[in-house]
């Protein structure tokens, strides 16, 4: 029996990765409970020692040695249950420690089932959850499908480790580039910043520590092979690879690609930039629903304002001739001038009571010409 017990412990150590000392401690604790139940004693002075070499079990109660033959069927069953429980707890601890070290890395799993929008992923030794909030909005999966995920968080709970995965976090893209680009993995090319809107577009800023190596070219790969693999994994998400530059003007100009920047004004103390682009580049610089400039702001950490280089049409001067107002003839114009109202702008800013002081201008007429004056003034702004 002792040899069989040691064989079981060896098997559990190999298969489950649980340290032998933990297993032996679990057996000893289980046998303490079993002895107490079998003997019907409340004494706390029970000691159990399991010899890890021979498998011999020594039980001492109140200083007296008790032979193993005294353990009844109930005691054995109790020991078995407690051992199973302790092994499960130890196994959960092993899994927690293993995956805690894998936070901020990639792993592969199988889509196991769907629960209220969340995806439960089978990682082999345990299950993990891909919450709806961490899923890429344009991706769908089928049960049994293999999936590559980013380990976002690992928490210890009474039911075991709770592992949170992500397909939305920018860390997913960063780790993919490290796998695809040897220069990044080796530390020659450095990822300085990433801005991502999952399923739509990612901007990544890279820098080469070796002048002989083109950081952008290394990330793109021969004929785009490296970046294409990542785009394929991200289900067609667009990726802009930007060359990082310590000069904010150069960096921001690159971040706004594919748009071309003509001029730029920098306010370093406020980290604000005003970029001037050609009129036909304006929509490209801003992007669909403002996405391009929004990602550029996240990537660089600067507040970027986009302006068109097209000169705005000169504002039309407000007509000074009051006869442009309906119902104002020469006599009315002279009367208004005498009252101090010589331009349409002045009338637009006047009160009805002020205008009625002019000869021949009643309340209704004053209301009418003030409304007209305001309308003309708005058009010329």
Contact 347, 341 (CB under 8 A): yes
Residue with the larger pLDDT of the pair 292 and 373 = 292
Residue finishing a domain among 44, 76, 100? 100
Residue with the larger pLDDT of the pair 238 and 13 = 238
Report long-range pairs for 83-88 (Cβ below 8 Å, ≥24 apart): 83/26, 83/27, 83/30, 86/25, 86/26, 86/29, 86/30, 87/12, 87/16, 87/18, 87/23, 87/26
3-state DSSP assignment of residue 378: helix
Residues 339 and 255 in one domain: no
Q: What is the pLDDT of residue 307?
A: 92
Residues 96 and 119 in one domain: no
Residues 13 and 95 in one domain: yes
Q: What is the pLDDT of residue 101?
A: 95
Which range among 49-63, 178-192, 354-368 has the greatest average pLDDT? 178-192
Q: Convert the pLDDT of each residue in 298-332 to its tens digit.
A: 999 999 999 987 654 444 444 556 767 777 777 88
Residue with the larger pLDDT of the pair 39 and 223 = 223
Q: What is the pLDDT of residue 315?
A: 41
Stretch 345-361: mean pLDDT: 82
Residues 352 and 305 in one domain: no
Number of domains in the chain: 4
Say if 373 falls within a structural domain: yes
Say if 110 falls within a structural domain: yes
Q: What CATH number corresponds to the domain at position 162?
A: 2.40.50.140
Residue 215 has pLDDT above 90, yes or no: yes
Q: Convert the pLDDT of each residue in 119-162 to its tens digit.
A: 999 999 899 999 999 999 989 999 999 999 999 999 999 888 99
Contact 19, 13 (CB under 8 A): yes
Residues 265 and 347 in one domain: no
Say if 154 falls within a structural domain: yes
Residues 12 and 85 in one domain: yes
Q: What is the pLDDT of residue 202?
A: 97
Say if 357 falls within a structural domain: yes
Q: What is the pLDDT of residue 131?
A: 97
Stretch 349-375: mean pLDDT: 83
Half-sphere exposure of 148 (CA within 13 A, CB side): 13
Say if 227 falls within a structural domain: no
The residues, ordered by sequence, that sit 6+ positions from 349 with a Cβ below 8 Å of its Cβ are: none
What secondary structure, in 3-state letters, does 194-219 show?
A: EEEECCCEEEEEEEECCCCCCHHHHH
pTM attached to this predicted model: 0.67
Residue finishing a domain among 100, 121, 147? 100
Output the six-digit token pair for 380: 């010329």
Residue with the larger pLDDT of the pair 90 and 242 = 242
Residue with the larger pLDDT of the pair 223 and 18 = 223
Say if 22 falls within a structural domain: yes
Mean pLDDT, all residues of the chain: 85
> Phi then psi for 370, rounded to 5 degrees?
-65, -45
Say if 304 falls within a structural domain: yes
Q: Say which DSSP state 354 is in.
A: H
Residues 332 and 373 in one domain: yes
Residue 26 has pLDDT above 70, yes or no: yes
Place of tokens 């070499």: 53
Residues 76 and 21 in one domain: yes
In terms of phi and psi (left: phi > 0; alpha: psi -120 to 50; beta: otherwise), the region of 271 is left
Reported as a pLDDT band with limits 50, 70 and 90, residue 42 is low
Strands 238-243 and 201-208: parallel
Share of residues in the chain with pLDDT > 70 (%): 88
Residues forming a β-bridge with 119:
114, 130
Q: What is the pLDDT of residue 368?
A: 85
Strands 160-166 and 146-157: antiparallel
Residues 28 and 92 in one domain: yes
In angstroms, the CA 282 to CA 312 distance is: 14
Residues forming a β-bridge with 307:
276
Q: What is the pLDDT of residue 34?
A: 75
Residue with the larger pLDDT of the pair 27 and 298 = 298
What is the domain extent for residue 63?
2-100
Residues 278 and 307 in one domain: yes
Stretch 334-361: mean pLDDT: 81
Q: What is the pLDDT of residue 317?
A: 42
Say if 13 falls within a structural domain: yes
Residues 82 and 33 in one domain: yes
Q: Convert the pLDDT of each residue in 43-95 to its tens digit.
A: 668 888 878 887 777 888 877 777 656 554 555 565 567 677 777 888 888 89
Q: What CATH number corresponds to the domain at position 305?
A: 3.30.300.20
Residues 78 and 22 in one domain: yes
Q: What is the pLDDT of residue 35?
A: 76
Q: What is the pLDDT of residue 4?
A: 67
Q: What is the pLDDT of residue 320?
A: 55
Q: What is the pLDDT of residue 37?
A: 74
Q: What CATH number corresponds to the domain at position 26?
A: 3.30.1480.10
Residue finishing a domain among 312, 334, 361? 312
């Amino acid at each position: 029996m002792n040899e069989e017990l040691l064989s079981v412990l060896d098997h559990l150590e190999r298969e489950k990765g649980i340290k032998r000392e933990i297993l032996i401690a679990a057996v000893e604790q289980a046998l303490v409970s079993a002895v107490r139940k079998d003997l019907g004693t409340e004494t706390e002075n029970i000691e159990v020692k399991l010899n890890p070499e021979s498998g011999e079990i020594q039980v001492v109660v109140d200083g007296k040695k008790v032979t193993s033959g005294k353990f009844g069927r109930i005691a054995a069953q109790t020991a078995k249950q407690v051992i199973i429980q302790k092994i499960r707890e130890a196994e959960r601890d092993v899994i927690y420690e293993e995956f805690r070290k894998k936070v901020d890395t990639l792993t592969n799993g199988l889509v196991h089932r769907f629960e209220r929008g969340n995806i439960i992923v089978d990682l082999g030794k345990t299950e993990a959850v891909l919450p709806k909030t961490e899923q890429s909005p344009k991706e769908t999966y089928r049960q049994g499908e293999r999936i590559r995920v980013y380990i976002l968080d690992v928490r210890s709970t009474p039911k075991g480790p709770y592992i949170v995965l992500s397909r939305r976090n920018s860390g997913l893209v960063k780790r993919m580039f490290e796998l695809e680009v040897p220069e990044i993995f080796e530390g020659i090319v450095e990822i300085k910043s990433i801005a991502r809107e999952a399923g739509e577009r990612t901007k990544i800023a890279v820098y080469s520590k070796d002048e002989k190596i083109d950081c952008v070219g290394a990330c793109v790969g021969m004929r785009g092979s490296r970046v294409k693999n990542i785009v394929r994994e991200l289900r067609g998400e667009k990726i802009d690879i930007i060359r990082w530059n310590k000069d904010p003007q150069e960096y921001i100009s690159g971040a706004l690609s594919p748009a071309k920047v003509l001029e730029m004004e920098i306010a370093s103390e406020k980290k604000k930039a005003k970029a001037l682009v050609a009129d036909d580049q304006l929509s490209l610089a801003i992007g669909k629903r403002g996405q391009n400039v929004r990602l550029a702001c996240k990537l660089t950490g600067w507040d970027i304002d986009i302006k068109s280089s097209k000169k705005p049409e000169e504002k039309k001067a407000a007509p000074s001739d009051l006869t442009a107002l309906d119902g104002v003839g020469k006599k009315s114009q002279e009367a208004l001038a005498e009252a101090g109202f010589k331009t349409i702008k002045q009338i637009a800013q006047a009160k009805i009571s002020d205008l009625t002081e002019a000869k021949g201008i009643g309340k209704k007429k004053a209301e009418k010409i003030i409304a007209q004056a305001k309308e003309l003034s708005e058009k010329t702004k």
